[in-house]
Amino acid sequence: MDMITPDVVNAILAKAREVDSASIFEGNTARPFEIQGVTLDLSTAKDPSDPFKINFPFKSIYISTATDTGVSVNFRPNSRDSFQTSVPLSLKDSHIFTKPISGGFLDWSAQSGKTITILFFLSSEFRSGSQISVTSGGLVINEGTSVTTSPLTLVAATSTQVVAADTTRKNLVVQNNTGADVWFGPVGVTNTGATLGIKVGAGGSFVWKNTAALYAYSVAGGAGDSGLLRMSEA
């Protein structure tokens, strides 16, 4: 067995310091690519058979921002083939490899009005120092910092937009003051058949916890105090 002497140790450490000095010099002169950010609009689905391609090498992934904590995408490294299971990624998640990989593929279900920003690190390992924690019991959830109320006129026998899509909306309370039943749902909602909406009776109200657009249908319609009353929290 070779003897470890002070001279051998110094030689080994000198070589290690040479590598560090070379890396610092490269950073000052060549300024190599290290971090790439990609923001994705998730309104339209990306099928696993036709995924979004990440066509550059990286070593780790970090989900830096998203519209909310429910936003997610699925990730496969190197190949989109179904033999490997995809990894779901959402806000503040990270995924780290021991060595850089050549690229990857992302797919997702349609998430109306949602976006996500992903950071890719070429040679470094990134782990988030913050966490998202949801605890049941004894937790007070603040649902917005502002509130507005406004009436809405319903056109008779017509699918009418109650609110447009809005990624900043926390809640929408809708009260039916028409004196008759009103049906709520997506664009084109009616009171029958395949486009049948959710019925809210006269004087009833409900909370819309969604950032997508909402529509209403009334047979007779209604305006002013005899229409809909909306209370939006943002």
Topology match between the domains 33-121 and 147-233: yes
pLDDT at residue 135 greater than cutoff 60: no
In this structure, the chain runs to a length of 234
Residue 84 — very low, low, confident or very high, per pLDDT cuts 50/70/90? Answer: confident
Residue pair 165/191 in contact (Cβ under 8 Å)? The answer is no
User: Closest by alpha carbon to 82, among 51, 40, 58, 55?
Assistant: 51
User: Class of 147-233 per CATH?
Assistant: mainly beta
Residue pair 234/149 in contact (Cβ under 8 Å)? The answer is no
Label residue 54 exposed, middle or buried (CB < 10 Å: 0-12, 13-18, 19+): buried
User: Closest by alpha carbon to 58, among 29, 21, 98, 101?
Assistant: 101
Q: Which range (33-37, 66-70, 76-80, 185-189) has the least confidence?
A: 33-37
In sign, the C-alpha dihedral spanning 21, 26, 31, 32 is negative
pLDDT at residue 26 greater than cutoff 60: no
pLDDT of residue 136: 52
pLDDT of residue 155: 93
pLDDT of residue 125: 78
Residue pair 138/191 in contact (Cβ under 8 Å)? The answer is no
Query: Which sequence spans correspond to the domains of the chain?
Result: 33-121, 147-233
Topology annotation, domain 33-121: Jelly Rolls (2.60.120)
Average pLDDT over residues 204-211: 91
DSSP class per residue in 96-124: EEEEEES-EEEEB---TT-EEEEEEESS-
pLDDT in tens, 86-106: 999 999 899 899 888 999 999
Q: What does DSSP say about strands 52-54 and 147-152: parallel, antiparallel, or unpaired?
A: unpaired
Residue 133 tokens, joined: 């924690």
Kindly state the DSSP code that residue 56 receives in the 8-state scheme. Answer: S
DSSP class per residue in 123-162: S-----S-------SS------S-EEEEEEPBPTTS-EEE
Name the average pLDDT for the chain. 85
Average pLDDT over residues 149-167: 93
